[in-house]
Structure formats: structure tokens, C-alpha cells
């Protein structure tokens, strides 16, 4: 089995991981209920997306059951 000849330096590991940083999600506020929501995502509070209802509210579903 092939075995590494030398130990990798800390700098080599660090430079490899230089591109591994995570970026935070882009957040916007819902135009209907002003909740903070990630972009391109249905608002979990009111179920609106692109100015219309696309998902029933959580409270309505719980009441129906
Ligand atoms: Zn909303």
C-alpha cells in the first residue's frame, strides 16, 4: 500500500482549507408579514411567495386536524 513519505505541513493543510469557508445565507424580509426569510423560499410565517399564497398556514392545518 502506498504510504506518504513525509508529513504534510500545517501550512499545506491550511492552504487547502482556505476555500472551505461557509457563507451565510442571503436573508430578506417578507413583504407581507415582515418575517426574515431566506431568498427564493416560501415564507414559513404566512405561506406567501412571489405575492401569492402557495402554502397553507401552519395554524390552519393544525386546526383542521
Ligand atoms: Zn410572510
The pLDDT tens digits of the residues spanning 8-48 come to 999 999 999 999 999 999 999 999 899 999 999 999 888 89
Cα 32 to ligand 1 centroid, rounded to whole Å: 5
Its sign, for the CA torsion 52, 33, 45, 49, is positive
Cα 12 to ligand 1 centroid, rounded to whole Å: 46
Q: Which residue has the higher pLDDT, 48 or 59?
A: 48
Q: Span 50-63, mean pLDDT?
A: 71
Cα 55 to ligand 1 centroid, rounded to whole Å: 11
Task: Spell out the alpha helix ranges (H) of 1-65.
Answer: 10-16, 58-64
pLDDT reported for residue 56: 80
Query: pTM for this structure?
Result: 0.54
Cα 25 to ligand 1 centroid, rounded to whole Å: 18
Amino acid at each position: 500500500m502506498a504510504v506518504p513519505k513525509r508529513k504534510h505541513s500545517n501550512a499545506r493543510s491550511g492552504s487547502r482549507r482556505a476555500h472551505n469557508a461557509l457563507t451565510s445565507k442571503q436573508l430578506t424580509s417578507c413583504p407581507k408579514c415582515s418575517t426574515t426569510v431566506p431568498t427564493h423560499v416560501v415564507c414559513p410565517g404566512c405561506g406567501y411567495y412571489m405575492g401569492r399564497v402557495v402554502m397553507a398556514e401552519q395554524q390552519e392545518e393544525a386546526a383542521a386536524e
